[in-house]
Amino acid sequence: MDKQQMTKTILDAKKDKNVSWKTLAEKTNLNPVCVTAACLGSASLNETEAQAVISVLDLKDEVKQTLMEYPLKGNGQIVPSDPLIYRLYEIAYVYGSSIKEVVHEKFGDGIMSAIDFTLDVDKVEDPKGDRVQITMTGKFLPYKKW
pLDDT tens digit string along 23-64?
A: 999 999 999 989 999 999 989 999 999 999 999 999 999 999
Residues labelled catalytic: 87, 90, 113
Indicate the pLDDT class of residue 70, thresholds 50, 70 and 90. very high
Identify whether 96 is part of a domain: yes
Residues in Cβ contact with 146 at an 8 Å cutoff, skipping those fewer than 6 apart: none
Quick check: 76 pLDDT over 70? no
- Least Cα distance to 4 among 52, 55, 95, 76 occurs for 76
**Whether residue 91 sits in one domain with residue 136:** yes
Indicate the pLDDT class of residue 75, thresholds 50, 70 and 90. low
- The range of the structural domain enclosing residue 125 comes to 83-142
Q: Give the CATH number for residue 107.
A: 3.30.1160.10
Residues in Cβ contact with 143 at an 8 Å cutoff, skipping those fewer than 6 apart: 109, 110, 111
pLDDT of residue 60: 97
Cβ atoms within 10 Å, residue 67: 29
The mean predicted confidence, pLDDT, of the chain is 93
**Whether residue 97 sits in one domain with residue 63:** no
Quick check: 95 pLDDT over 90? no
